[in-house]
Amino acid sequence: MNHKEARARIREQAAEEARKDAEQEVLLERRLRRWKRGTISVGIALVASCGAVTPFLYGYPLHDRWDAIGKRILLLTMGLFLAFTYTAGTTYTFWSYLRAIKKIHARFAPRAADTQRANKGD
């Protein structure tokens, strides 16, 4: 294998690696978008359920129905809080991972200028 063939093979491998890196980033961005939507949805449900508990508290008009309805809404609110905590944590994890991957790709991926310089040396 001569020098030109080796450089061509290296360029092909670099292009393939760059394509895989881009595909990975797109996949992670899609997954992050889904988790963001889920976090927002669960957050809205949590806020709504917190608001729904208020009329059943002491001093409000529906307090006499606390045992029948209010406690169930409160349990729903507590469950939504746990779900919101999980989705927010997962969203943060994906966001942090995507940011780190982009940094790594920007720092270590072969750049177009490096490839052009290598081509001029042929």
Is the pLDDT score of 70 beyond 50?
yes
Is the pLDDT score of 26 beyond 80?
yes
> Residue 111 is part of which domain span?
33-116
CB burial string 41-56: b at 16+ within 10 A, e below: ebeeebeebeeebeeb
Does residue 66 lie in a domain region?
yes
What phi-psi label fits residue 59: left (phi over 0), alpha (psi between -120 and 50 degrees) or beta?
left
As for how many domains the chain has, the answer is 1
Residue 68 has what DSSP assignment? I
Does residue 94 lie in a domain region?
yes
- Nearest-angstrom CA–CA distance, 95 and 86: 14
Mean pLDDT of 70-98: 96
Mean pLDDT of 25-29: 92
Does residue 7 lie in a domain region?
no
Does residue 47 lie in a domain region?
yes
Mean pLDDT of 38-42: 98
